Chain A
Amino acid sequence: SQELEQSPQSLIVQEGKNLTINCTSSKTLYGLYWYKQKYGEGLIFLMMLQKGGEEKSHEKITAKLDEKKQQSSLHITASQPSHAGIYLCGAVPSYNQGGKLIFGQGTELSVKP
């Protein structure tokens, strides 16, 4: 079965610093999603990547999918306290499996003012 491994598991950064979270799959990804979860809340969809080499940005967050479609990174530039939360990568393990997503174990981000 396919697994997603995220690193690091937790991260504490000073406000204004850049950071990167990685998500590595044991098999080829057919779609890679990044979500953010705040305590007591649901998952907020950030970005979706499908093509090898694809890169997307939203405000200060950039996500990339490598050419082999087995690794994705999420980069936050000039972090702010509002970026704090748990970042989860999710993937469709293979095409047309009822849309189920498998998730990494999450990366907990704290941003110190």
Chain B
Amino acid sequence: DTAVSQTPKYLVTQMGNDKSIKCEQNLGHDTMYWYKQDSKKFLKIMFSYNNKELIINETVPNRFSPKSPDKAHLNLHINSLELGDSAVYFCASSQGGNSNQPQHFGDGTRLSIL
């Protein structure tokens, strides 16, 4: 009964390709997030959605396009992949977009660009 699940877990692809990462949560939360963790383990917010509405877009290149078909899903599509996109991408969810509720994270998608 995985709470926040991401697919795929590993993604190896060539520069210039387009790829998608999917995220689903079964916690009934209304807010979902995408974070990027670089090679130095530094974790940084990319996007957040509340009830399918974009709340945060943290100066991410527009090659990255999140899509939330419903509040249980938040997918991330990346166009024209670049070497610098290699990282671990984490999806998270919480109830409400405030500081009172913890965020629950998926296991991450390890993206490697060749």
Which A residues form the contact surface with B (CB < 8 A)?
Answer: 30-31, 33, 35, 37, 40-45, 48, 50, 86, 88, 90, 92, 95-103, 105-106, 108
Closest residue of chain A to B45, judged by CB? Answer: A100
Contact-residue bracket for chain B: 20 to 34
24 A-B residue contacts at CB 8 Å? A33-B102, A33-B103, A35-B105, A37-B41, A41-B108, A42-B107, A43-B92, A43-B105, A45-B103, A88-B43, A95-B98, A98-B31, A98-B48, A98-B50, A98-B56, A99-B55, A99-B97, A99-B98, A100-B48, A101-B103, A103-B42, A103-B44, A105-B41, A105-B42
Measured between beta carbons, the chain A residues less than 8 angstroms from B55 are 98-99
A42 touches B33 (CB 8 A): no
Measured between beta carbons, the chain B residues less than 8 angstroms from A37 are 41
- Contacts A45-B102, A45-B104, A99-B99 given; indicate if A105 touches B40 (C-beta within 8 A): yes
Q: Within the complex, what minimum Cβ distance (angstroms) separates A23 from chain B?
A: 13
Closest residue of chain A to B9, judged by CB? Answer: A40
Measured between beta carbons, the chain A residues less than 8 angstroms from B107 are 40-42
- Contacts A88-B43, A98-B48, A101-B103 given; indicate if A43 touches B98 (C-beta within 8 A): no
Which B residues form the contact surface with A (CB < 8 A)?
Answer: 4, 31, 33, 40-45, 48, 50, 55-56, 58, 90, 92, 94, 96-100, 102-108
Most A-side CB within 10 Å, residue of B33, B102, B108 = B102
The 3 A-B pairs at the shortest CB distance, nearest first, are namely A31-B99, A99-B97, A98-B55
Measured between beta carbons, the chain B residues less than 8 angstroms from A97 are 56, 97
Given contacts A35-B105, A100-B48, 5 further A-B contacts (CB under 8 A): A40-B108, A42-B90, A50-B100, A101-B45, A105-B40
B96 touches A99 (CB 8 A): yes
In the assembled complex, the Cα of A17 lies from the Cα of B45 at a distance in Å of 34
- Which of B33, B96, B106 is A100 in contact with, Cβ under 8 Å? B33
B90 touches A99 (CB 8 A): no
- Contacts A98-B50, A99-B33, A100-B48 given; indicate if A42 touches B108 (C-beta within 8 A): yes
Q: Within the complex, what minimum Cβ distance (angstroms) separates B97 from chain A?
A: 3
B31 touches A99 (CB 8 A): yes
